[in-house]
Amino acid sequence: MIPRLRTFTAFALAAGLLFAASPATPAAAAHGASPATSVVSTPSEVRDNVQYFFEEYIPMARGLLPKGARYFRGQFFTDAVNTELDRWADTHHLDPILRSEEEFVHLSVYILSSNKTYATIVAEVNFASSTTRFYLKVPLDNSRVFELEDRSTD
């Protein structure tokens, strides 16, 4: 599939398919999920979802669908995390996920730890001379990411 079509397809399906199932627990609802049938993922599946997010988000944010990138991000992160990201973008005048205007070089996503309710996933986005490193707390119940910490290096 050509990259534009793949990205458009991912964008079109993101709202309903990326994290389609939501938990029925009050704790999960506090993390941005709506009441529904609970579906539990493995840490590996959660890592794959994070990998997918970054692989699709990078070309969107780099100009293919910049407004779509914000919408796509909204499907992945809770409202609270998105508000923090929007504030960061307003202050720094850069995309709040990429945090660099340099050429993208490499993406690495791995599991740091997990428990019964969430996995901590590390996503490193490497650019020509810098790395953006995020630690994401991702619920195993397929609700949205409720914590994002930037531990970048230059």
Q: Where are the domains of the chain?
A: 3-150
What's residue 142's pLDDT?
Answer: 80
Model confidence at 18: pLDDT above 90: no
What's residue 103's pLDDT?
Answer: 85
Higher-confidence residue of 142 and 36: namely: 142
The CA–CA distances, whole Å, from 138 to 123, 129, 135, 149 equal 12, 28, 10, 12
pLDDT digits (tens, 9 = 90+) for 78-130: 999 999 999 999 999 988 998 888 888 999 999 999 999 999 999 999 998 88
pTM: 0.71
Residue whose token pair is 């994290």: 19
Task: State what percent of residues in the chain have pLDDT above 70.
Answer: 73
CA-to-CA distance for 153 and 70, rounded, in angstroms?
24
Model confidence at 23: pLDDT above 50: no
Q: Are 32 and 78 in contact (CB under 8 A)?
A: yes
pLDDT digits (tens, 9 = 90+) for 57-74: 998 888 767 678 888 898
CA-to-CA distance for 143 and 34, rounded, in angstroms?
8
38 falls in which pLDDT band (50, 70, 90)? Answer: low
